[in-house]
C-alpha cells in the first residue's frame, strides 16, 4: 500500500505547478490582447497610411504647381526688366519714303511692294505723308503669308483731326490690288479689302 505522505504533494510541487499555470494563462491573455491590435494595424492602419515613398511623391505633386508658377513669374520679371524687344523683320525692305504736298511720288518703292506681294514674298514699306497743315503721318505696309497685308497709320500728330481719330490705326487685310490715280493713270496706290481692325477697306498710301 502507498504511503499517505506520498499522496500529499509537497509545498514546492504546488508552487511550481501554480507558477506554470499562471504563466500559461498570462501568455494566452497576451495573445488575445495582441490579436485585435495586430488585425487593426494590418487591415486599417497600414491601409490608411501611405507606403514608403508615397508621402514624398504626394508632397512633390502638391508643390510642383507652385514651383511652375514661380518660374513663370521669374521669366515675366526678367522680360519686363529687359524691356520689349520687337521681332526683327525678315523679308524684302522697300525702304522709307516721304511724300508730302510737293507731289513726290516713289514709283520704285511701289513696284518693289507689288513685285514681292505678287510672288508671295514678305515685304514692308515705310512712308511718311503730311497733312495740309504739315503734320507728319507715319504709315507702314507689311505683308507676309501668315498675317496677310497689315497697314498702320499714326494720326496722333494730326491736331486738326477729330480727337477720336488721333490714334494709331491698324488694318489686317486679305487682299491687295493696284488702283490707278484718277488724276494721273500712270500712278497708282494700293487698295486693300477684306480687312479687320479699323475698317473693312483702306488705301495705301
Reported as a single tens digit per residue, the pLDDT across 153-189 is 999 988 888 888 888 999 999 999 999 999 999 999 9
pLDDT at residue 7 is higher than 90: no
Whether the predicted pLDDT of 125 surpasses 90: yes
pLDDT of 94: 97
CA 38 from centre of chain: 53
Cα 85 to Cα 88: distance, rounded to the nearest angstrom: 9
Run of H or E residues at 136: strand 136-144
The set of cell numbers assigned to 92 is: 524684302
Confidence check: pLDDT of 29 > 80: no
Q: How confident is the model at residue 63 (pLDDT cuts 50, 70, 90)?
A: low
Number of C-beta neighbours around residue 108 at 10 A: 11
pLDDT digits (tens, 9 = 90+) for 127-158: 999 888 888 999 999 999 999 999 999 999 88
Percent of the residues in the chain that have a pLDDT greater than 90, as a whole number: 45
Give pTM, 2 decimals: 0.56
Amino acid at each position: 500500500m502507498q504511503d499517505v505522505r506520498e499522496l500529499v504533494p509537497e509545498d514546492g510541487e504546488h508552487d511550481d505547478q501554480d507558477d506554470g499555470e499562471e504563466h500559461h494563462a498570462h501568455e494566452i491573455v497576451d495573445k488575445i490582447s495582441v490579436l485585435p491590435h495586430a488585425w487593426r494595424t494590418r487591415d486599417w492602419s497600414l491601409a490608411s497610411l501611405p507606403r514608403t515613398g508615397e508621402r514624398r511623391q504626394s508632397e512633390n505633386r502638391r508643390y510642383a504647381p507652385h514651383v511652375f508658377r514661380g518660374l513663370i513669374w521669374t521669366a515675366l520679371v526678367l522680360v519686363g526688366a529687359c524691356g520689349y524687344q520687337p521681332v526683327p523683320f525678315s523679308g524684302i525692305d522697300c525702304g522709307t519714303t516721304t511724300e508730302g504736298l510737293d507731289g513726290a511720288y516713289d514709283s520704285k518703292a511701289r513696284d518693289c511692294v507689288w513685285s514681292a506681294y505678287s510672288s508671295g514674298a514678305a515685304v514692308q514699306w515705310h512712308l511718311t505723308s503730311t497733312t495740309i497743315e504739315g503734320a507728319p503721318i507715319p504709315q507702314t505696309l507689311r505683308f507676309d503669308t501668315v498675317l496677310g497685308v497689315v497697314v498702320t497709320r499714326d494720326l496722333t500728330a494730326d491736331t486738326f483731326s477729330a480727337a477720336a481719330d488721333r490714334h494709331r490705326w491698324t488694318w489686317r487685310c486679305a487682299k491687295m490690288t493696284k488702283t490707278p490715280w484718277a488724276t494721273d493713270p500712270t500712278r497708282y496706290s494700293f487698295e486693300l479689302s477684306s480687312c479687320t481692325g479699323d475698317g473693312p477697306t483702306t488705301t495705301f498710301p
